[in-house]
Amino acid sequence: MEHVPALLRRYGLLNLNKDQRFLISPRALHAIVDAAELEPSEVVLEIGAGVGNLTRLLCERARKVYAMEKDRQLMGVLQSELGDIDNLELICADALEAELPACDVVVSNLPYSIATPLTFRLLEHEFDRAILTYQLELAKRLTAKPSTKSYGRLSVMVQHHCDVRMVARVPKGAFYPPPKVESATVRLVRRPSPYVVEDEALFFELVRAGFEHRRKKLRNALAISASFPLGAEYLRSLSAPELDMRAEELTGAQLASLANIVHRKLKNAGAIASASSR
């Protein structure tokens, strides 16, 4: 494919959005495709196709590729350069808002500014594997363990749904224009949660509230959360060692165990209230 800077000049795309970074390193591009381990029968969703240098490689391996790009000027480049590829469907849309097509594998060089909300959105979408390139700091958060600086809500949520590993670091020079920070490619493999969660919405809310006040012990962090369903009085009555620790010190399994205790407390309280109203 034509060198990306020359391609952009040919199409008159000289004033790029500051968040637009095009992966140009052949080594990094092929590493992403190899990490996807695509089968000829599989369907791929690529988010942020850019000028299509990764898209073309994906089309060579997969049965079908949906390439999503919200920038209309870049979509024009994709239509001109790749429009004749039979197993490619181009979608001009914002991945944070549009309906995402069904797929087996998600591949994306995530724009730094939307990487976190887009990751949460993808966790609600069905896929088998995802190969995602992030700012290095964010990639470390996905793979982080408890009691480390990088561990947080995103770590728990991603690891609740997926096995996660960092595939490779991606240097600044692998992009055009080069960013100010390093990046990393991460592989997510969907699997059932390794621990029991009795009420997933409650578990997610507990994790959100706990990390919103990450320096407070959970008993206090949950008590001051406006959206958590148990108030301070109920929380004082609960006996659970996790409540006297910070969210950042607990594994997903420990947070789930606490959420299950709260769920049973709420369920029992509801049953008692229902019985007393008869």
Instruction: At 28, list the tokens.
Output: 């990094």
Question: Which residues fall in the annotated binding site?
Answer: 23, 48, 69, 94, 109
CA 131 – CA 104 distance, rounded (Å) = 11
CA 17 – CA 26 distance, rounded (Å) = 23
Quick one: DSSP state of residue 39? Answer: -
Strands 105-109 and 43-47: parallel
Q: What phi and psi, each to the nearest 5 degrees, are found at residue 46?
A: -105, 125
Displacement of CA 240 from its chain's centroid (Å): 31
Residues in Cβ contact with 258 at an 8 Å cutoff, skipping those fewer than 6 apart: 206, 218, 240, 242, 243, 250
Tell me the residue length of the chain: 278
Cα distances (angstroms) measured from residue 32 to each of 36, 55, 91, 257: 6, 11, 21, 36
- Nearest Cα to 142, choosing from 126, 122, 124, 165? 165
Question: Which residues fall in the annotated binding site for S-adenosyl-L-methionine?
Answer: 23, 48, 69, 94, 109
Instruction: At 15, list the tokens.
Output: 């004033």
Q: Which residue has the tokens 């500014």?
A: 113
